[in-house]
Structure 1
Amino acid sequence: MVRFENVGLRYGMGNEILKDISFAIEPQSFQFLTGPSGAGKTTLLRLILLSLRPTRGLINLFGSDSTELDKDAITDLRRRIGVVFQDFRLLDHLTTYENVALPLRVRGREEASYRAEVIELLRWVGLGERMHILPPVLSGGEKQRAAIARALIVRPELLLADEPTGNVDPSLARRLLRLFTELHKSGTSVVIATHDLGLMDQFDGARRMVLGDGRLHIYD
């Protein structure tokens, strides 16, 4: 599903911030990406999404060499990926419901075919009473939950989540983890970037990918 071979990344003429990164993400797998603050976890997720291009090395996404992809091909591949970044990227002029439903609208689905599904998911993440609210009125934790719901609504083949439980209380964090688990059981590969050891300890079978000093170490 994803393959990195000796990937390196630097900005400008500076030193490489990621060095010789090699790993593969298999279909229907579950892994954590961890490491200290500033290690490059978000940067690595953006490389997977192809929103950043490496300075060197090979990135293969869904069987396609990233160097051979044009803008339209990259857009098509990204539609197979659910993404939750810490900046949320909600559209302020759309309600919570409309933000979560947006990926389905973009795919041409009629609202009648997805309305109940969107409402059920919003209730599951604790936003059932906030679905008609605009994002500027939402708290940080509520925005995060809306972003998670938007990523999950399309049942992606690959989910990339950057600190998805960072702004919620422990009870809701466990509930969100059950969502990720169910998504994984249904066939989605999951990559969760986190520094929360307690969160990772809840998944004994998950692989841990640890970033440090620009290099990646993998523990199965």
Structure 2
Amino acid sequence: MVRFENVGLRYGPGPEVLKDLTFRIDPNSFQFLTGPSGAGKTSLLRLLFLALKPTRGLIGVFGRDTAALTRAELPDIRRRIGIVFQDFRLLDHLTTFENVALPLRVLGREEANYRAEVTELLRWVGLGDRIHAFPKVLSGGEKQRAAIARAVISRPEFLLADEPTGNVDPHLAKRLLRLFIELHKSGTSVLIATHDIALMDLYDARRLVLADGRLHIYD
């Protein structure tokens, strides 16, 4: 599903923040991405989401060389990837329901066909009483859960989550991890970036550890 070969990344004339990354992410796989602050986790996620281009090396996604993709092809590739951003990126003029349903609207589905599905997911993540609320009245943890629901609602082929349990209590963190595990069992490849060692210890999964811009893999 994803292939990196000798990938390096630098911003401007500075030193490389990612160095010689070579690894694969297989279909229907589950992995954690961890490492100290400043190690380059967010930069790696941005490469995986095609929001950045590498300075050198090759990245393949869904069997395509990303360097050969045209700008017109990028949206179709990105629709196959769900992503949970640390800053949530909810649209302020949409309700919680409308934010979560947005990927389905983009796919052309009618609301009558997805209303029950979105409502059930919002209840499952503890937002059943916040369906009609706008982002400005949601807490940080509520925004995070809405962002997670939006990322998984369309059952993407590949899910990227950047610190998805950073603003919730341990009980809810376990519940959200179960959601990611169930999505994985349904066929989605999942990569969760986290500092939470206790969370990673709850599930036996591959660990990608970034340190000083280099990747170490523990299967």
Smaller-chain TM-score bracket: over 0.9
1:13 maps to 13
Q: Which runs of 4+ in 1 moved over 4 A?
A: none
2:200 maps to 200
1:59 maps to 59
1:169 maps to 169
1:112 maps to 112
Q: Given residue 155 of structure 1, which amino acid in structure 2 is its aligned partner?
A: R
2:142 maps to 142
Q: Given residue 84 of structure 2, which amino acid in structure 1 is its aligned partner?
A: V
Instruction: Quote the Cα distance in structure 2 between the aligned partners of 1:119 and 1:84.
Output: 19
Instruction: Quote the Cα distance in structure 2 between the aligned partners of 1:217 and 1:48.
Output: 17
1:216 maps to 215
TM-score by length of 1: 0.99
Instruction: Quote the Cα distance in structure 2 between the aligned partners of 1:184 and 1:14.
Output: 38
SS of the aligned residue for 1:120 comes to helix
Instruction: Quote the Cα distance in structure 2 between the aligned partners of 1:195 and 1:169.
Output: 14
Deviations 1:169-217 (A, max 9, x none): 111111111100100000000000001111111112x100000011000
Q: Given residue 182 of structure 1, which amino acid in structure 2 is its aligned partner?
A: E
- In the alignment, is residue 180 of structure 1 matched against residue 147 of structure 2? no
Instruction: Quote the Cα distance in structure 1 between the aligned partners of 2:111 and 2:193.
Output: 33
- In the alignment, is residue 153 of structure 1 matched against residue 153 of structure 2? yes
Runs of 5+ unmatched residues, structure 2: none
Runs of 5+ unmatched residues, structure 1: none
SS of the aligned residue for 1:17 comes to strand
CA positional deviation for 1:77: 0.6
Instruction: Quote the Cα distance in structure 1 between the aligned partners of 2:72 and 2:32.
Output: 30
Deviations 1:131-169 (A, max 9, x none): 100001111100000000000100011000000000001
CA positional deviation for 1:74: 1.2
- Calculate the aligned-residue CA RMSD, in Å: 0.5
Instruction: Quote the Cα distance in structure 2 between the aligned partners of 1:30 and 1:175.
Output: 17
- Residue identity over aligned pairs, in percent, reads 78
Instruction: Quote the Cα distance in structure 2 between the aligned partners of 1:72 and 1:173.
Output: 37
2:4 maps to 4
